[in-house]
Amino acid sequence: MLLSAADINAILRQVMPSSEQNGFRVEQVEATGVVCRTVFSQQHIRPGGTVSGPTMMALADAAMYAAVMARLGRLEMAVTQNLNINFLARPAPVDLIARVEVLKMGRRTVVMDVKIYSDGNPDMVAHATGTYSLPPAGKE
């Protein structure tokens, strides 16, 4: 791993200040990916008292961005190429945890799997897959 959780969080505060405002942070960098958290806030609630889909999509996308940087270093220009999400259960109004696994690391793309949980519950509330496009060499 090239960057630690603290390194990635510092970069995100610089290049995506909204990540901190939304309660997003990288908690752990692992050999296969990262573990991230979105701290619960009333702004994440949708009608029915559950965490909104856009909150879970933002968590999945930001967590994949973090996984790319954990593996390859500071690549601010890496961008989402594809994001597919399935909502599996109603998340409780608590922090959300995302576990990202890098499935394939190519020269131009990274394919990842994201499992999202309500903090303290072992059952997935959402499952996402995504692809990040990497910048051409020299365009980091």
- Band of pLDDT at residue 138, cut at 50, 70 and 90: low
Give 124-136 pLDDT, tens digit per residue: 999 999 999 999 8
Give the number of residues written for the chain.
Answer: 140
What is the pLDDT averaged over residues 7-24? 90
Q: Taking 60 as the threshold, does the pLDDT of residue 22 lie above it?
A: yes
What is the pLDDT averaged over residues 24-52? 93
Report the mean per-residue pLDDT for the chain: 93
Pick the CATH number of 5-133 from 1.20.1110.10, 2.60.120.10, 3.40.50.1370, 3.10.129.10: 3.10.129.10
Give 66-92 pLDDT, tens digit per residue: 999 999 999 889 999 999 999 999 999
Give 92-118 pLDDT, tens digit per residue: 999 999 999 999 999 999 999 999 999
Q: What is residue 120's predicted lDDT score, i.e. its pLDDT?
A: 94
Helices then strands, each counted (H, E), the chain = 3, 8
Q: Taking 60 as the threshold, does the pLDDT of residue 58 lie above it?
A: yes
pTM of the model: 0.93
Q: What is residue 139's predicted lDDT score, i.e. its pLDDT?
A: 57
Cβ neighbours of residue 128 under 8 Å, at least 6 residues apart?
Answer: 56, 57, 60, 83, 84, 85, 86, 113, 114, 116
Q: Taking 60 as the threshold, does the pLDDT of residue 38 lie above it?
A: yes
